[in-house]
Amino acid sequence: MDEQRRAEQLQIADEQMSQLNNIDWLRQHPAAEIEGDGWVEAGNGLQPYVACLKQLSVQDMRTIKAQARVLSMLLPVLRDWMSSWELGASFEAVYIEAQTLLFQQIQKASVAQEGWFEELSLAYKQGTQEEHSSAQLRKRLAEVLTQENWQALAMVAAQDAEKRVLRHSQTQVELPTAV
CA torsion angle 97 112 119 129 (round to 10): -40
CA distances from residue 84 to 3, 21, 58, 77 in whole angstroms, order as listed: 62, 52, 40, 11
pLDDT digits (tens, 9 = 90+) for 74-133: 999 999 999 999 999 999 999 999 999 999 999 888 888 888 888 887 777 777 666 667
What is the greatest pairwise CA distance in the chain? 86
Residue numbers of the domain that contains 27: 3-38
Q: How far is CA 117 from the centre of its chain?
A: 17
In a domain? residue 131: yes
23 and 105 co-located in one domain: no
pTM of the complete model? 0.64
pLDDT digits (tens, 9 = 90+) for 55-68: 888 888 888 888 88
24 and 98 co-located in one domain: no
In a domain? residue 98: yes
Burial of 65 (0-12, 13-18, 19+ CB in 10 A): exposed
**Domain count of the chain?**
2
63 and 30 co-located in one domain: no
* Cα–Cα distance for residue pair 118/132, rounded to 1 Å: 13
pLDDT digits (tens, 9 = 90+) for 23-42: 777 677 665 555 555 666 66
The winner for highest mean pLDDT among 115-124, 128-137, 143-152, 163-172 is: 143-152
